[in-house]
Amino acid sequence: MTRFSAGVAGSSSGSNNNKRRNNTITAADKIVAATAGQDTWKTWAGRKHGSENFEMMDLFRGMKRSFHHTFLSGPPPSGTACPVCFCEPERPEDWHVTWCGHAVCIDCLQQYASNQVQDKEHSGPLKCPVCPQVLRRQDAVVAFGENTELIHLWDQKIRNQLLRALPSYRSCPKCSNNKNHNQNNSEAVESSGGGFVTPECLQPHYNERREAATRLLRGRGFVILAIFFGYCLVISVISKTPSQYPSVDLFFMLVPIYVFVKAALAAQHWLAHVARQHFFRPITVECPCCNEAFILPAESSHLQDDETSRWMDAHSRKCPSCSVPIMKTGGCNHMRCTHCRADFCWACMRLRTSCKAYQCVNGAPYKNAVPGFGDQDGPRAPQANDSILTVIDYLLERSCPQLTYRDGALLVVCLFARFVGPVQYIVNIVMAILSSVIVSQMILGGAILFVLNTMHRNVRLGVLQEGRQRHAAGNLDGVRPNHLNRRQIRRMEQEMVAEALRRSMEEM
């Protein structure tokens, strides 16, 4: 059993309460009292609608309200009753005019503020007792007056609200029950305890549960081996007590494979279910306010965040430009970040490289992509670096066959029905049909392979012959023009020689 961390949103110690019960208000108390009000554009302008941010007419409204509050507003005339208690204050100094313009007696304003602070359902700044407008800081200081106990109670209340708003805070159910039994005690109302749960304090518990789940999943191999030994035992029993027909024994050796495969799948699913239960076992913690133990759910956001970070480390990489995690489901090496639009290679994680689609030029330290790779239907098989929760979810998402009494009856039939005559007759017929079907399928498959091989050889020989013919025709076409050119040249040379001889004879 572990204990909450020291930071507690609960009641304070008695020594501090004794110190706070003095009647002298300090500057720090005034600052704390001012936090009960709110100075925003909405409160300054006196708007009853819209957000706290600036709007177009806020400047005009705020200046008008400031002028009216400074120069025109004041204590109401004698005989005017307070709108809260319907009594007339004795002195004009007992009146207070709020920023929203309502005049109330100071006693009613302080009592109204005390009721709001002590109300466990109230949250946020104080409001005007006449209208739903939020008080400004100067009005909140007047509402608390010299009541230091009320100021410190408000300080404790806003502190508890801020602490309880943190994601790591866990409230104590035992303190809440005690709070319901002590509705009249204001201190008990504010002392609903609890504490803070951080990943650091829960990490040892998560490591212990992760190791227990890992040990259970590692036992899958032993369970499958035990199931295989059971199948071998069935085969040995059948082989030691043979029947009259070997085909019957062979049939009843093959039939139990169906049952034992179902048993192996069901055992893996059961182990994954038990491992998940061990992984999310509840954690018992102790409240530092009431010292009572209660159960803290283990399936919290801290564990989910831890497993998510493990899964992202195993299945994603950071963009080399903006460090945004990216997961690749298929395609080539070229990637483009959807956040910063940077192009990079998935095989080497470098920006603006000359890598090919399926061939990295930088050595591919993260391995090249394979053409045609993509996600397949169904759950993805876990990898070696996956988290234990990923492996558990994968085993649980797979279809789990249910073992029924029929499977046990099938094993009994395989062991003891082999010697029954009608069973042997039926099994012999079934084995004969199966043998004929298998033999015919083998013959048909062999014939198809022979025909395909013959067709492939004929097509290949035809392609080779056609290529040779084209090659020979190309050589002839290339020789004829050369042969004809040589003959023409020789004829021209002969004609030139004859013409030269003729001219020489005429000159003589």
Q: Per-residue pLDDT tens, the chain, 508 aa: give them.
A: 444 443 444 433 333 443 334 456 788 777 887 888 888 888 888 887 778 888 888 888 888 888 888 888 888 888 888 988 888 888 888 888 888 888 899 999 989 889 988 888 888 888 888 888 888 888 888 889 888 888 888 888 888 777 777 767 777 777 754 444 444 444 433 445 677 777 677 778 778 888 888 888 888 889 899 999 999 998 888 888 888 888 888 888 888 898 899 999 899 889 988 888 888 777 777 777 777 777 776 545 555 555 666 667 777 888 888 888 888 877 888 888 888 888 888 888 888 778 888 888 888 888 887 775 444 444 555 555 556 777 887 788 777 888 888 888 888 888 888 888 888 888 888 888 888 888 888 888 888 888 888 877 777 676 666 666 665 655 444 444 444 456 666 677 667 767 766 766 666 5
> How far from 237 is each of 30, 241, 249, 423, 457, CA to CA, in Å?
92, 6, 10, 18, 52
Beta-bridged to residue 104, according to DSSP, are: 96
Tokens representing residue 348 in the block: 């080497």
| Residue linked to tokens 């994601």 | 167
> How far from 21 is each of 37, 96, 100, 115, 190, CA to CA, in Å?
23, 26, 32, 19, 17
Tell me the three state secondary structure of residue 49. coil
Cβ pair 321, 342 in contact under 8 A: yes
459 backbone dihedrals φ, ψ, rounded to 5°:
-65, -40
Our measurement of the distance from residue 125's CA atom to the centroid of its chain's CA atoms, rounded to an integer in Å, reads 37
**Hey, CA dihedral for 501, 506, 507, 508, is it positive or negative?**
positive
Q: Give the H or E element holding residue 318.
A: strand 317-318
Rg (CA), the chain: 46
285 backbone dihedrals φ, ψ, rounded to 5°:
-125, 165
CA 164 to CA 168: how far, in whole Å?
8
Closest CA to 346 of 354, 332, 401, 433: 332
Within 386-420, where are the H helices?
388-397, 405-416
> 102: Cβ–Cβ under 8 A, 6 or more apart, which residues?
83, 128, 129, 130, 131
- pLDDT of 202 reads 74
The DSSP call for residue 48 is S
CA 144 to CA 150: how far, in whole Å?
7
Task: Say if strands 2-3 and 283-286 run parallel, antiparallel, or are unpaired.
Answer: parallel
- pLDDT of 507 reads 61
